[in-house]
Structure 1
Amino acid sequence: MNKSYVELTQVSITFSTPQGPFTALKDVNLSIERGEYVSLIGHSGCGKSTVLNIIAGLLQATTGGVILDGREVSGPGPERAVVFQNHSLLPWLSVYENVALAVRQVFRGRKTRAEMHEWVEHNLALVNMTHARHKRPQEISGGMKQRVGIARALAMEPKVMLMDEPFGALDALTRATLQETVMDLHARLGNTMVMITHDMDEAVLLSDRIVMMTNGPSATVGEILKVDLQRPRDRMALAEDPAFHHYRAEGLRFLYERHRRPEAA
């Protein structure tokens, strides 16, 4: 039997607190295929970021574990790049230097200086940020900063892109533009993507599947919604598509029922 590209098996995590042990996640099982776009959605405190951080290797599960491409995840690694809601760019470095720093860390000894330069330029071009290569983060907009964060992550050539509400702090127009950028990158590059979002419209627009988490504590996977919408997806066309509205309604129904009956989690 072939295993999925990313496998979370019986993942639970318990934190020590002054009030005693707190179980954030319990028995999370999730399989993700190579090249799939999966969104995690749920109410605040349902453990979405905890799941993402366990896949990233930033947190260690108390029980269970994660397998990526046949290998156990035991810590952070360049094969898993994270894009946070806060761009996390170093303010004293230019756009080019922020991306180049990640490239040097991953490819030192594997690429020549000229090859690394070309690779930085290539990834800035992917997100249309070549024109701002010499600017510092304080000189560019929030949307542009997120583009640089995405370029930096792509430049690591990760097997999996992990995105924690990457558009959450942006205005509606910038958010829509970056969603289009990410859809285009996913179509061209075929990256495996796992994204946290609170926005059901965004989840349906971008995802192949939406993983809906139950409420915490002891949160787990409640339902998984398969989004069977043809790609490439056109935002304006989907606005009139009954299937889009069906998937959106199914997700909202789950969230509403969990909010109304938290004990069901």
Structure 2
Amino acid sequence: MAGYLKIEHVDKSFERNGVTSEVLKDISLEISEGEVISIIGHSGCGKSTLLNLIAGLTEVSSGAIVLGSEVVSGPGPERAVVFQNHSLLPWLTVYENVNLAVSKVFGAKRSRAERHEWIMHNLDLVQMGHARDKRPAEISGGMKQRVGIARALAMEPKILLLDEPFGALDALTRAHLQDAVMEIHERLHNTMIMITHDVDEAVLLSDRIVMMTNGPAARIGEVLDVPLGRPRRRLELAGDRTYLKCREAVLKFLYERHRFVEAA
């Protein structure tokens, strides 16, 4: 469905001590249902600010963000966020952390047995059902992120927002979680928007890559289509011409923007 999420001429500024800082300028983008979008750019280009605007955690200064037929005016369960920091409550078990979200969203709509089944379904989806009774201190960083993803998916969001969810993980764990996200998308066909600094991650996971210009007043510089079929297998793509061409295009964009900053 074209225009499932519409970002229409969005500006975002912050004011402190009488000084206005313009972070984003005239951001316009349409995202289709089931699409995976990566947003990439140098530090300070407003990637996370844009994600927070879509999540409703921050208000736009001008323009509008429309999901379906509803204008985004605040946070809601239809837009679930997975942050780089897993944000699990340390005194609750894995099961209880997911249950917190499920009870909030479905407490009045589903029975206790239905909620239990749904929690276990989502934990099994990220291969964490076996750790349901463990607390965050007893599991690894990658496992914590899996629980964070399960918690977000358990809210049945229309859009899953991922803010550098694998940035703090080692390379091998990161690769396993990337594969897990691709498997989840293959099963659910859900809409995902992900912030990343990793070019290979963006090309591997995305249908389109949104490349931001440098801040302040960052804009969308280019949007790159990634015409790779699904399912995707990282080892098979290592020498794929289309993969390498997309990777080169993103690196070229980022290098040229970085060189502009250095020369300024």
Which interval holds the TM-score relative to the shorter structure? over 0.9
The corresponding residue for 1:249 is 248
Are 1:44 and 2:8 matched, yes or no? Answer: no
Q: Summarize the alignment of residues 1-265 of structure 1 with structure 2, pairs less than 5 Å apart.
A: 4-18=3-17, 20-262=19-261
Deviation at 1:24, TM superposition (A): 0.4
Q: Supply the AA of the counterpart residue of 2:158.
A: K
Check whether the contact 1:83–1:166 (CA below 8 A) recurs between aligned residues: yes
Deviation at 1:165, TM superposition (A): 0.3
Deviation at 1:166, TM superposition (A): 0.5
Deviation at 1:242, TM superposition (A): 1.4
Q: Supply the AA of the counterpart residue of 1:252.
A: L
Deviation at 1:243, TM superposition (A): 1.1
Relative to 1, partners in 2 of residues 1:264 and 1:3: Cα closer, same or farther, differing over 3 Å? farther
Check whether the contact 1:258–1:264 (CA below 8 A) recurs between aligned residues: no
User: Using the alignment, how far apart are the partners of 1:99 and 1:241 within structure 2?
Assistant: 39
Q: Deviations over 1:174-195 (max 9, x none)?
A: 0000000000000100110000
What is the count of residue pairs matched by the alignment?
Answer: 264
Relative to 1, partners in 2 of residues 1:205 and 1:37: Cα closer, same or farther, differing over 3 Å? same
Q: Supply the AA of the counterpart residue of 1:78.
A: P
User: Using the alignment, how far apart are the partners of 2:222 and 2:263 within structure 1?
Assistant: 13
Q: Deviations over 1:94-127 (max 9, x none)?
A: 0000000000000011000110010000000000
3-state SS in 2 of match to 1:261? helix
Relative to 1, partners in 2 of residues 1:112 and 1:253: Cα closer, same or farther, differing over 3 Å? same
Q: Supply the AA of the counterpart residue of 2:191.
A: T
TM-score by length of structure 2 reads 0.98
Q: Supply the AA of the counterpart residue of 1:215.
A: N
Check whether the contact 1:35–1:192 (CA below 8 A) recurs between aligned residues: yes
Gaps of 5+ in 2: none
Deviation at 1:264, TM superposition (A): 10
Q: Deviations over 1:43-84 (max 9, x none)?
A: 000000000000000000000010001110000000000000
Q: Supply the AA of the counterpart residue of 2:3.
A: S
User: Using the alignment, how far apart are the partners of 2:2 and 2:259 within structure 1?
Assistant: 37
Q: Supply the AA of the counterpart residue of 2:33.
A: R
Q: Supply the AA of the counterpart residue of 1:4.
A: G
Check whether the contact 1:54–1:60 (CA below 8 A) recurs between aligned residues: yes
3-state SS in 2 of match to 1:111? coil
3-state SS in 2 of match to 1:217? coil
Check whether the contact 1:10–1:65 (CA below 8 A) recurs between aligned residues: yes
TM-score by length of structure 1 reads 0.98
Structure 1 runs (4+) greater than 4 angstroms displaced:
none
User: Using the alignment, how far apart are the partners of 2:72 and 2:262 within structure 1?
Assistant: 32
Check whether the contact 1:89–1:98 (CA below 8 A) recurs between aligned residues: yes
Deviation at 1:240, TM superposition (A): 1.2
User: Using the alignment, how far apart are the partners of 2:24 and 2:262 within structure 1?
Assistant: 15
In angstroms, what is the RMSD of aligned CA positions? 1.4
User: Using the alignment, how far apart are the partners of 1:66 and 1:200 within structure 2?
Assistant: 26
User: Using the alignment, how far apart are the partners of 1:19 and 1:178 within structure 2?
Assistant: 43
3-state SS in 1 of match to 2:122? helix
